[in-house]
Amino acid sequence: MKAEEPAAAFAIRRYEERLARDPGSLAFAPLADAHRKAGRPGEAIRLCREGLERFPDYATARLILAKALADGGEPETALAEVRVILQGNPADAQAHRLAGELERRAGRLPEALAHLRQSAALDPADRESRLLVEVLDGGGTLAGASALARLLADDTFATVSFGTVCLEQGLVDEAAQIFLRILRKEPGHEVAHRRLEEALRVKIQRRKGS
């Protein structure tokens, strides 16, 4: 553990001591999450899998496992774990939120939108999901009758190059809708998908800073 991460080191040590005192406790889950947040997804995965052998219905541990798998570069395996959670509890807002993120990163935008809508409906405090729904639900069009909105309604401008220019100029909403329109026609367009992710990150960061 790095010296500049005393809080993470303290959390890991505390949960390790608790688990040592009671190996059958649920402390494996927060310990795994502490390892995950400290950049050790492999250790988090190991702890969760061992703990879930004893407590297979412990949804919190399975969600931590899914996050650790995603952090470790196994998004589809992570999504499979989230689906297990949702099979047991379709009203789990956190699972829908993570499923929405994983589906979105995989380029499966209709599936992502469905999960994000569920998350926003189940958790009124989930502003990020509502924001993403607002963007993804645009379907490649901009509201309003401004000159730029009319310009972007023309498919001539639905190009990665023009979307990138909009993104560089800070026109995040416009850029996002351009990339969405491209992806609606070509779902496997990797560059458009990466640029859409950039636009969404900027929009989320702006909303958090407001």
d(CA 91, CA 95): 9
Predicted local distance difference test score (pLDDT) of residue 145: 45
d(CA 81, CA 87): 10
d(CA 45, CA 198): 28
Tokens of 120: 């926003």
180-208 pLDDT per residue, tens: 888 888 888 999 999 999 999 898 888 77
DSSP secondary-structure letter at 154? S
Predicted local distance difference test score (pLDDT) of residue 181: 86
d(CA 165, CA 25): 54
29-66 pLDDT per residue, tens: 999 999 999 999 999 999 999 999 999 999 999 999 99
115-156 pLDDT per residue, tens: 999 999 999 999 899 988 988 887 655 555 455 666 666 667
Radius of gyration of the chain (CA): 20
Q: Residue 8 — very low, low, confident or very high, per pLDDT cuts 50/70/90?
A: confident
pTM of the model: 0.80
Beta-carbon contacts of 29 under 8 Å, excluding residues fewer than 6 positions away, are 47, 48, 51, 58, 60, 61, 64
